[in-house]
Structure 1
């Protein structure tokens, strides 16, 4: 999560020509924060507070260890954030988003609603 949060600084250099493009950059900026927020909430912490503290420093090794609830050098604590995996996931998401924006129609599977299991029959006089 920290790798994405650090990469958000690159969005400051994106040149936008109109308000729609600015909105798009803002959407990506919020989406980039989502993994850190979700990790924090899954660990029982407030995501906004964690994101705020992580933004206070630019040290790439600095982060929040959800297991110990401590801030510090993640590499020293044995926590790694594989940037290549994060980059690949972000590129894939951007590719799908671009496809959605430029396509007039999309086909998706309709979620199947499965009926609940039937109730158990009575004991036939065998109940207590």
Structure 2
């Protein structure tokens, strides 16, 4: 089942890439959009919103770096100093040309994810109540140690 799901995912990603092209993966495409956000002139609450959007564009790369055992904020800073498709390859831990290294995303998928995130954020801001799941503490399975020593009893 997992293999079938992977094949379907690859097929859909390829179709999306053919439709709208590809962008560097690993969150770099979103980071490269930050200068456009920085050019938006706003005041008051709108300025706060622009800041939130700017910060949200950094978050995918920050999480990828954290998951790879790196300090996310440092990696974001380093990638922002790079240009083009250069970014952090979590598999190697190095700064590389991501497209040349095969780390890319369909532009349609990246765009849709950003639009959906903005839509959900807008709904959350205009909703009077929000229902969320509370994670329950998981009990450790199994019983206490039986107190039996190792080896065969009576053999010294």
Query: Structures share a fold, TM > 0.5?
Result: yes
TM-score in terms of structure 2 length:
0.66
**Which structure has the higher relative contact order (CA within 8 Å, separation 6+)?**
2
| Unaligned ranges ≥5, structure 1 | none
Detail structure 1 runs of 4+ shifted over 3 Å in the superposition: 109-123
Q: Which residue of 1 aligns with 2:119?
A: 95
- 1:25 to partner: Cα distance: 0.9
Superposition pairs of residues 19-98 of structure 1, within 5 angstroms:
19-59=44-84, 61-98=85-122
Inter-CA distance 15–42: structure 2 relative to 1 (3 Å threshold):
same
**Two-structure CA RMSD over aligned residues (Å):** 2.6
Inter-CA distance 58–112: structure 2 relative to 1 (3 Å threshold):
closer
Inter-CA distance 76–27: structure 2 relative to 1 (3 Å threshold):
same
Contact 2:38 2:54 in 1 (8 A): no
Inter-CA distance 118–47: structure 2 relative to 1 (3 Å threshold):
closer
| Unaligned ranges ≥5, structure 2 | 1-26, 150-156
Q: Which residue of 2 aligns with 1:111?
A: 134
Matched, 1:6 2:29: no
Q: What secondary structure does 1:81 align onto?
A: strand
Aligned residues: 123
- 1:82 to partner: Cα distance: 3.0
Q: Distance in 2 between matches of 1:28 and 1:91?
A: 11
